[in-house]
Amino acid sequence: MGLPAARPVSASSDNFPGLGRAGYDGAVFGVAGRRAAEVLVGLFALLGFVCVPLGQKTGLQHLIAIGSTPPVTEAVNELWNAAQRARERVSGAFAGEPTKVPGPPPSGNPLPKVPKLGSR
């Protein structure tokens, strides 16, 4: 009795399923290339927003000018105050303090009158 003959193993054997197929590497590099292209396009868009003038100002300068108007400043302040009140209520709830429902914040501007719809 002798040893059985050695069986040749091909490169596409079940033991090495990745051999013989180049699709995986191509897909990975394709996704990485697409992401790199998206980042490059995003950087160029950001560069254009910051550096390219739209009239007398760049897009960033327009955004800063719009954000510094009194209505936007007032809205940001009210939002900040509301966030602070919410934080105090949440921290008070965790500390075991009873929560009280606050009324509307005092405002220097009176509320506008809502017109009656449907009546003449």
**pLDDT per residue over 80-108, tens digit each?**
999 998 998 888 777 777 666 666 667 67
Is 0.85 topped by the overall pTM? Answer: no
Q: Each residue of 31-54: pLDDT tens digit?
A: 889 999 999 999 999 999 999 999
What tokens appear for 102 in the block? 């606050």
What tokens appear for 22 in the block? 């180049």
50 closest CA partner among 59, 42, 41: 59
